[in-house]
A and B are shown apart, each in its own frame.
Chain A
Amino acid sequence: MTAEMIELRQALDEEQQEFAAMQQQHFKVRAKMALENEALRHSFRGASDFLMAKRRAVFPDETALSGLRDRGEAIRQYSLSKLPELLETLEKNLTANGIQVHWAETAEEACAVIHGILASNNARTVVKGKSMVTEEIELNHYLQEKGIECLESDMGEYLVQLAGETPSHIIMPAIHKNKEQVANLMHGRAQTSDGSDVPYTDDVDQMIGNARAILRDKFRHADAGISGVNMAVANTGTLCLVENEGNGRMTTTVPKLHIAVTGIEKVVEDFSHVPELLTLLTRSATGQKISTYFNMISGPKKNDEHDGPEQVHLVLVDNGRSRIFAHPVLKPTLQCIRCGACMNHCPVYARIGGHAYGSTYPGPIGQVVTPQIGGLEQYGDMVSACSLNGACGEACPVRIPLPDLIRELRAEANSPQFVNAADPAAAAVQGRGSKRTLGESLIWKGWALGHRLPALYRLMTWGMTRSRRLFASAAAKKLLSPWTDSRSTPLPATQSLHELAKAAGVASDVSRPQGEQ
């Protein structure tokens, strides 16, 4: 090995350790680290601008877009309104088509079910198509411990796995890396099929060509393929997958065993609901009218067919979804079609990037999904990473009221009713009330009281204007530092608006509504 290669590998190992250490930090520390990383900010800002412009270009007509979003919302809400029935119909029709259906309540159970299928088929090597739900249940880690090689085949996912990291975006997993970083990663870590190092290149076509050669060899020899599902059609028993690269088709077509994994919310009733969701998905995600491939699977290879998997399985994963389903306000979370438009349009995501969230799903939908799956105790802080600007809600192709849901989760996190239910049947968000602090709730109580009682309000404003110098004191600066560290310190005026108005001769009782004292 050359000295350069030793040095490069050490650098890559250090980066991986830094990543692991960063993931251990508190959300606020991770966000700060991300903000201080110039290269990272450049990557995310560039990607966000690029994806927003692409989306705008394929939705030139506001009325048409609005109508399509109405349809998307209606289809998803209709599907959810019949969810248990549709899941049973789906199971019946998939089974009739020869696809074996499994149900899993938790992440652990889903992993165990998948491992069971692999083990009973003696499968030792697995290629994976892109699937967020398998990231959610941490399948790779589980299978690795059981001695099963699980290779990500989506180009972005492959790079992220090679780096020992996690995806930073649900559609573009390696969005945080620039091509120089990818070039070093490929050269330092990837190995060709004959076991030699991949020659260094920072030409994107050549890098993709190198990865192509490595991965095609893996597809050819893999015992099993594991994929996600974008939509499952109940009436026909069909699994639909959206992709550009062809790795999804490879995964579901070449190995003799295919296991599809999906959250229980992805079912639609009829095939006629598919085209509009598909066009909303690809246009919102990457600004494409359609993806290169739309792969509709309605069964394993038949006897007279010459290719295709001999077995197809579907694992239906709950993992907290039935609890989300029970929540009167948060239920629209399940309308999501995982396009990523909310994160592309989020000014917070564009600045801190996907890894700062420390969760499988980043950005606005991640802020809504993650605390509901993992609990507010662990993930409650991320709901504060929102300026309530509303961009995500306006971009969402199925009209999920994301800003409302984020506000609801803030209220849940600060609820006076603490719920620490490991019970999957409890309808409340796990960890409800876990972010409530005495100091903050007292401040808000006082705030509310001050705005209800005019005398108290006047006393408050009089006090603040008369003690305005205190705000410039060192003690006050320290107290307010989370806000004032990166902003100028607010200094109250010398007199309150009330006093100024009175001095100007504005009558004080003009706008008082009737019936109030």
Chain B
Amino acid sequence: MNSRERILGRLRASLNEQPAAAVAPLSVATHWPDPAPAEWLALFKQNLSDNHAEVIECRQQDWIAVLAQRLAEKNIRVLRSGRTDAGEALVAALGAQLDCDCVTETLSKDDLFTQIDAGFSVALAGLAETGTLVVNTGPQEPRTLSLVPPLNIVLLPASAMQAGFSAWVTQGGLPQPLPTNLLLISGPSKTADIQQTLAYGAHGPKELIVLLMTDA
């Protein structure tokens, strides 16, 4: 017998010996309220702002111009995006202004850690209750772009807003099959490990900009 069989054997033996233990019924109601749809946008923005993220409202026709201006103000020189439709549109429009490209091959760790100022991603959904972006990664959406560059930019169409994580999962929001890495992002990276003092930019992004596209 190997360790696996011994562990499982002990667990099974215990279950057989124990009288059918009183297990709290799974059907118990939560009473945890979901926010009303009318509150979603305001709640989403408030939660993200509370977590030190910058939420910029924009429209389909002007989001690139809005972002371009913000990037210029922040003096961003190198931006990388996944190969999404939005990413390609961004690269086509900003290619002249800065070093801006879609990732099409394995990212060099040196470039990633030392050269890239900003990573651009598109969110799959927004969760109002917690101010959260759901980011699906894959060939078109490298996972490190929302992690390693100091500035993390995420585009979210307002129509993808949901009440919260629980509602999103139970209403079939999860991509099928699941990606190798699915992410919930609710702010720039932070820590309070030194004397409970909050500091942003612990290991990952120091800033998070959320472009909330209100007409899409």
Contacts and interface: CB of A to CB of B under 8 A. Distances in A.
Interface string B159-186: 0000011100110001001111111111
A88 B8 contact: yes
A139 B68 CA distance: 48
B10 interface: yes
B143 interface: yes
The interface residues of chain A, by DSSP majority, are classed as: helix
Contact of A246 (B25, B166, B184, B205): B205
Interface string A147-183: 0000001111001000000000000111101110010
Interface stretch (B29-37, B57-65, B87-95): B29-37
A487 interface: no
A509 interface: no
A297 B148 CA distance: 18
A163 to B, nearest CB: 13
B51 interface: yes
Contacts of B69: none
Interface string B13-31: 1110110010111101111
A377 B32 CA distance: 44
A153 B178 CA distance: 28
B3 A305 contact: no
A204 B106 CA distance: 35
A77 B8 CA distance: 18
A290 interface: yes
Nearest to A186: B194
Contacts of B179: 298
B84 interface: no
Contacts of A205: 199
A366 interface: no
Contact of B31 (A66, A78, A300): A66
A29 B125 CA distance: 54
Report whether over half of chain B's contact residues are helix, strand or loop; otherwise say mixed.
loop
A74 B28 contact: yes
Interface string B196-214: 1101011111000000000
Given A68-B30, A244-B202, A297 B180 contact: yes
B29 A67 contact: yes
Most buried by B among A236, A246, A264: A246
Interface string B135-171: 0011100111001100000000000000011100110
Q: How many residues of B sit at the interface, in one of the four size bands?
A: 35 or more
B180 A298 contact: yes
Interface in A248-268: 249-250, 253-254, 264
A412 interface: no
Given A64-B33, A70-B24, A83-B11, A220 B189 contact: no
A275 B130 CA distance: 11
B183 A271 contact: no
B106 A307 contact: yes
B39 to A, nearest CB: 14
Contacts of A245: 189-191, 193, 202-204
Interface size class on chain A is 35 or more
Interface in A39-93: 43, 46-47, 50, 61, 63-64, 66-68, 70-71, 73-75, 77-78, 81, 83-84, 87-88
Interface string B98-125: 0000011111011011000000000000
B17 to A, nearest CB: 8
Interface stretch (A318-326, A346-354, A431-439, A454-462): A318-326
B74 interface: no
Contacts of A254: 109, 144, 148
Contact of A208 (B186, B187, B194): B194
Contacts of A156: 191, 193
A307 B107 contact: yes
A159 B139 CA distance: 36
Contact of B169 (A61, A88, A105, A274): A274
Contacts of B144: 253-254, 307
B30 A289 contact: no
Contact of B191 (A84, A208, A293): A208
A61 B205 CA distance: 33
Contact of B197 (A204, A291, A323): A204
Contact of B139 (A208, A289, A306): A306
A154 B193 contact: yes
A505 interface: no
Nearest to B180: A299
B44 to A, nearest CB: 12
Given A64-B33, A68-B30, A208-B191, A47 B196 contact: yes
Contacts of A77: 23-24
B75 interface: no
Most buried by A among B104, B137, B143, B181: B181
Contact of A276 (B104, B110, B166, B189): B166
B192 interface: yes
Nearest to A157: B193
Contacts of A175: 196
B203 A204 contact: no
A81 B20 CA distance: 9
Contact of A104 (B3, B18, B51, B197): B3
B129 to A, nearest CB: 7
B12 to A, nearest CB: 5
Nearest to B10: A322
B23 to A, nearest CB: 5
B51 A292 contact: yes
30 contacts: A46-B196, A64-B30, A67-B32, A68-B30, A70-B28, A71-B28, A71-B30, A81-B21, A81-B23, A104-B3, A155-B193, A159-B193, A178-B195, A208-B191, A250-B203, A264-B7, A272-B170, A274-B169, A275-B166, A289-B47, A290-B165, A291-B186, A293-B184, A296-B182, A302-B180, A307-B142, A307-B144, A322-B7, A322-B14, A326-B10
- The 7 A-B pairs at the shortest CB distance, nearest first, are namely A246-B204, A67-B31, A246-B189, A156-B193, A294-B184, A245-B202, A275-B166
Given A46-B196, A84-B11, 15 more contacts: A70-B28, A71-B28, A74-B23, A81-B21, A155-B193, A208-B194, A219-B113, A220-B113, A246-B202, A247-B203, A249-B143, A254-B148, A399-B24, A424-B6, A424-B10
Interface of A: 43, 46-47, 50, 61, 63-64, 66-68, 70-71, 73-75, 77-78, 81, 83-84, 87-88, 97, 103-105, 109, 153-156, 159, 172-175, 177-179, 182, 204-205, 207-209, 212, 215-217, 219-220, 236, 238, 244-247, 249-250, 253-254, 264, 271-272, 274-276, 278-279, 286, 289-302, 304-308, 316, 318, 322-323, 325-326, 328, 331, 399, 424-425, 427
